[in-house]
Structure 1
Amino acid sequence: MGRKKAHASSRGKQQGPSPQQKHISAAKRNELNVLCEKLFHLSSNPAYVTQSWNNYLDISEVLLKVKRLEEMKTESSQRSQGIGQFINWLTENGAQVDGLSIAEFPGYDLGLKAETDFTENQLILEIPRALIFSTYTAASELTILQNDPLVQHMPQVALAIALLIERYKENSKWKPYLEMLPSSYNTVLYMKTNDMIELKGSPTLEAALKQCRNIARQYSYFNKVFQNTNNAVSAILRNVFTYERYW
Structure 2
Amino acid sequence: MPKSHATRASSVSIRSKRSSTARQSSSSLWKCYPKIFKNLSPFTLLIYLLASLIFIFLFYIVLDEVLIHLQKVLFTETNDLLGEMTTVPLENVMANLPFHTTAEKAIDIEKLSGEISSSEASPGSSLQQTTRRRKSIRQFLKWMQEHGADVSKISLKEFPSMGLGVAARKDLSRGDVYMRIPKKLLVSVHGITHSATLSPIFASQQLQIKDIFIVFLLFEKFVKREDSFWHPYIDILPEHYDMSPFFWSVSNLEYLKGSNIYQRTIWERNFHRQRFNSLKERVFDRFPEYFANADISFEKFAWAEWTYSSRLFFIEGQNPREHLVPLAEMVNCFEPFPIDRSTQFVETTSDGSGDVVVKANHQFKRGQQIFESYGYKSNAELLRYEGFHFGDSNPNDCIWLDLPFYQHRANDIRQKMGLQGPPQYCFSPRDILSKDLWPQQAMSYLRLLVATAEENNRDFRTVVSRANEVRVYNTLLRVVRDMINANPYTEQSLLNTSLTPQARLAIEFRLFEKKQLQKIKSSIQMKERLYSK
TM-score, length-normalised on structure 1?
Answer: 0.58
Asked if the contact 1:188/1:212 (under 8 Å) is kept, the reply is no
What's 1:183 paired with?
239
Per-residue deviation at 1:173? 1.0
Asked if the contact 1:101/1:113 (under 8 Å) is kept, the reply is yes
Listed as ranges, the matches of 1:38-187 within 5 Å are 78-138=132-192, 140=195, 141-146=197-202, 147-148=204-205, 152-153=207-208, 155-167=209-221, 168-169=223-224, 171-185=227-241, 186-187=243-244
Matched, 1:244 2:296: no
Asked if the contact 2:154/2:167 (under 8 Å) is kept, the reply is yes
Summarize the Cα distance change of 1:187–1:237 in structure 2 as closer, same or farther, 3 Å threshold. Answer: farther
Query: Counterparts of 1:88 and 1:228 in 2: how far apart (Å)?
Result: 37
Identify the structure with the greater strand proportion: 2
Residue 169 of structure 1 aligns to which amino acid in structure 2? K
Query: Counterparts of 1:117 and 1:203 in 2: how far apart (Å)?
Result: 42
1:81 aligned counterpart, secondary structure: helix
| Larger radius of gyration between Structure 1 and Structure 2 | 2
Query: Counterparts of 1:198 and 1:122 in 2: how far apart (Å)?
Result: 43
1:112 aligned counterpart, secondary structure: strand
What's 1:202 paired with?
259
Residue 224 of structure 2 aligns to which amino acid in structure 1? K
Summarize the Cα distance change of 1:103–1:243 in structure 2 as closer, same or farther, 3 Å threshold. Answer: same
Alignment RMSD: 2.8
Per-residue deviation at 1:124? 1.1
Summarize the Cα distance change of 1:126–1:193 in structure 2 as closer, same or farther, 3 Å threshold. Answer: same
What's 1:31 paired with?
none
Summarize the Cα distance change of 1:94–1:209 in structure 2 as closer, same or farther, 3 Å threshold. Answer: same
Residue 251 of structure 2 aligns to which amino acid in structure 1? N
2:179 aligned counterpart, secondary structure: coil
Summarize the Cα distance change of 1:103–1:79 in structure 2 as closer, same or farther, 3 Å threshold. Answer: same
Query: Counterparts of 2:180 and 2:276 in 1: how far apart (Å)?
Result: 36
What's 1:54 paired with?
none
Per-residue deviation at 1:243? 2.2
Summarize the Cα distance change of 1:212–1:173 in structure 2 as closer, same or farther, 3 Å threshold. Answer: same
What's 2:250 paired with?
193
Query: Counterparts of 2:264 and 2:200 in 1: how far apart (Å)?
Result: 32
Per-residue deviation at 1:135? 2.8
What's 2:274 paired with?
217
Per-residue deviation at 1:169? 1.7
Asked if the contact 2:253/2:262 (under 8 Å) is kept, the reply is yes
What's 1:45 paired with?
none
Query: Counterparts of 2:210 and 2:283 in 1: how far apart (Å)?
Result: 18
Query: Counterparts of 1:159 and 1:179 in 2: how far apart (Å)?
Result: 16
Per-residue deviation at 1:96? 0.7
2:170 aligned counterpart, secondary structure: coil
Query: Counterparts of 2:161 and 2:257 in 1: how far apart (Å)?
Result: 30
Per-residue deviation at 1:101? 1.6
Per-residue deviation at 1:197? 3.4
Asked if the contact 1:94/1:127 (under 8 Å) is kept, the reply is yes
Asked if the contact 1:79/1:181 (under 8 Å) is kept, the reply is no
Asked if the contact 2:159/2:165 (under 8 Å) is kept, the reply is yes
What's 2:458 paired with?
none
TM-score, length-normalised on structure 2?
Answer: 0.29
Question: Whose RCO is larger (CA < 8 A, sep 6+)?
Answer: 1
Query: Counterparts of 1:201 and 1:120 in 2: how far apart (Å)?
Result: 42
1:169 aligned counterpart, secondary structure: helix
Per-residue deviation at 1:227? 5.8
**1:93-127 deviation line (CA, Å, top 9, x unaligned):** 12111132211111111111222333553321111
Summarize the Cα distance change of 1:173–1:198 in structure 2 as closer, same or farther, 3 Å threshold. Answer: same
Residue 181 of structure 2 aligns to which amino acid in structure 1? I
Summarize the Cα distance change of 1:79–1:135 in structure 2 as closer, same or farther, 3 Å threshold. Answer: farther
2:191 aligned counterpart, secondary structure: coil
Query: Counterparts of 1:92 and 1:99 in 2: how far apart (Å)?
Result: 16
**Which deviates the most, 138-147 or 93-102?**
138-147
Gaps of 5+ in 1: 1-6, 9-75
Asked if the contact 2:205/2:282 (under 8 Å) is kept, the reply is no
Identity of aligned residues (%): 24
Asked if the contact 2:192/2:212 (under 8 Å) is kept, the reply is no
1:166 aligned counterpart, secondary structure: helix
Gaps of 5+ in 2: 1-71, 76-128, 303-533
Summarize the Cα distance change of 1:84–1:203 in structure 2 as closer, same or farther, 3 Å threshold. Answer: closer
